[in-house]
Amino acid sequence: MEETRRFPLPRGCRLHSADYDLAFRQGRRGGGERLVLLVRANGLETSRLGFVVSGRVGNAVRRNRIKRLWREAFRLERGGFARCVDVVVRPLPGYVPPPFSELLLQLRGVT
């Protein structure tokens, strides 16, 4: 049986509850028609990611799929950011994730 290798996002790259408040108050907004991305310089040695996904976006399977896609895009792109930032991803009802290559471009464009 072939071994599956996992490359998870480290725990230090996750936002804490107080950091969400700062991102919403001080963060720069970006994203698209059905997506809000909040980006804020954090002054730390690593970039961090957080999600605000309402139940109105879809069922648990759909919400978790969106989070997995964004988490993977962030994991691949976080080394290329000009500075360390906090990113909050907030999909709105009706959000359909774009192809992964476009998702990477969205993340590069905001940070």
Which tokens hold the place of 106? 């969205």
| 99 in a structural domain | yes
Specify the pTM: 0.88
| 2 in a structural domain | no
Q: Could you tell me the residue range of the domain that residue 40 belongs to?
A: 13-110
Helix axes 100-110, 60-77, angle to 10 degrees: 60
Residue pLDDT, tens place only, 28-63:
998 888 999 999 999 899 999 999 999 999 999 999
| 46 in a structural domain | yes
Residues linked to residue 39 through DSSP beta bridges, in sequence order = 28, 87
Q: Where residue 51 sits, what CATH number does that domain have? A: 3.30.230.10
9 has a pLDDT exceeding 90: no
Q: How many domains does the chain have?
A: 1
